[in-house]
Amino acid sequence: MPERYYALLQELQTVEFVCVELNLYLDTHPHDVQAIEQYNQFAHKLKELKHRFELEFGPLKHFGHSYSRAPWQWVETPWPWQV
């Protein structure tokens, strides 16, 4: 895999981690407007990163959560334990 694959995947995982942490914080602080705004910004960034990654390297999720071009892309990318 090209170096860009790993760089984009790491950025995606970092932003996803921020979303999870903000989600957990907001579960106990539901009225924190600043945290809600941050969550929404990072959720939007995560959506864009996933879209960019999938356009360049193929689907991230299966069972209807991501599209695939032909040929079937799941056999082309590394398996999760290979990354």
* Cis before 80? omega within 30: no
| 8 A C-beta contact, residue 49 and residue 5 | no
For the stretch 30-83, pLDDT in tens is: 999 999 999 999 999 999 999 999 889 888 877 665 666 666 666 677 766 676
DSSP string spanning 22-70? HHHHHHH-TT-HHHHHHHHHHHHHHHHHHHHHHHHH--S--TTSS--PS
With tokens 């539901």, the residue in question is 30
Question: What gap in Å lies between CA 81 and CA 83, rounded to an integer?
Answer: 6
Please report, to the nearest 10 degrees, the dihedral formed by the alpha carbons of residues 61, 64, 70, 72 taken in order.
Answer: 60
Global model pTM greater than 0.95: no
- Give 6-18 pLDDT, tens digit per residue: 999 999 999 999 9
pLDDT(4) > 70: yes
